[in-house]
Amino acid sequence: MENITLSDTERIDDLQFKGLRLIQNTEHFCFGLDAVLLARFSSPKDNDTIIDLGTGTGIIPIMVSGLCGAEKIVGIDIQDCMCDMASKSVKLNNAEERISILKGDLRSPQEMFAPGSFSLVISNPPYIKAGSGIVNEYSQKAISRHEVMCKLDDVARAAGYLLKESGRFAIVNKPERIVECFDAMRKYAIEPKKVQLVYPKSDKPPSAVLIEGIKGAKEGLRFMRPIIVMNEAGEYTCQINRIYSDNGEDIFR
């Protein structure tokens, strides 16, 4: 941890995957299972150029760096505090040559990148629609959870701009917003191709949906087998335990 200074509210978490670690702040929004599932679902490849929109803690770039040998992985976020913390995590994992954390507004991607700069765009955007009664709409947690600084359409528009032809877009959201996701993606020439629902338990409604779209692809949607998070005993299922293993991609086929 040489040359890395933590604040009183920051901690280092072991990701239990390939020795990777992540700095988090207990007063800020901390990553959840959805981000880990999204990183796996995105199926990054060694020859990909990758960007994570609204990177937050940097969990997705850090996870992706352990999943593939891609040499260009970028995370952007509009919040200084998150960029600073994510940058420290990159340094903590000695990944500065592969991962760049940039402060930027995903609503203006043209100010940072040329069109078609990436083959894989990933985003775990705010789930809660604007106007849903936020106590402090500019707090760090509100920005991470609510559509304060960006909306779903902004994310899809940025992905459409940043993706090269046949590039992939991976996103996670709430199941009730799946039609909105499809509409937004198609609006910017990204065709939904793969869907996977995440259930907290087998007898509960789904809590998240993972979607992959391909820029300029033909129609044809495939539903993957669902992911069940907990078993009847309240323990992680074998599916979830496998996402931290080398063959974790099996649950996304």
Residue 10 within any structural domain of the chain? no
Residue 119 within any structural domain of the chain? yes
Rounded to the nearest 5 degrees, what angle is found at the Cα of 196, between the Cα atoms of 208 and 245? 95
Residue 62 within any structural domain of the chain? yes
Nearest to 17 by CA among 63, 57, 79: 63
Nearest to 90 by CA among 186, 23, 25: 23
Residue 53 within any structural domain of the chain? yes
User: Would you write out the chain's pLDDT as a tens digit for each of its 253 residues?
Assistant: 457 888 888 999 999 899 999 999 877 777 889 999 999 999 999 999 999 999 999 999 999 999 999 999 999 999 999 999 999 999 999 999 999 999 999 999 999 999 999 999 999 998 556 555 554 454 444 444 434 467 999 999 999 999 999 999 999 999 999 999 999 999 999 999 999 999 999 999 999 999 999 999 999 999 999 999 999 999 999 989 888 776 666 677 6
Residue 23 within any structural domain of the chain? no
- Domain CATH number, residue 150: 3.40.50.150
CB 249 within 8 A of CB 40: yes
What is the rounded distance in angstroms from the CA atom of residue 91 to the CA atom of residue 81?
Answer: 16
Residue 233 within any structural domain of the chain? yes
CA torsion through residues 164, 148, 55, 85, sign:
positive
**Confidence at residue 50, expressed as pLDDT on a 0 to 100 scale:** 98
Residue 224 within any structural domain of the chain? yes
Domain membership of residue 150 as a residue range = 31-252
**Confidence at residue 152, expressed as pLDDT on a 0 to 100 scale:** 95
**Confidence at residue 32, expressed as pLDDT on a 0 to 100 scale:** 87
Residue 132 within any structural domain of the chain? yes
Q: What is the CB neighbour count within 10 angstroms for residue 133?
A: 7
CB 185 within 8 A of CB 192: yes
Number of domains in the chain: 1
3-state secondary structure of 4: coil
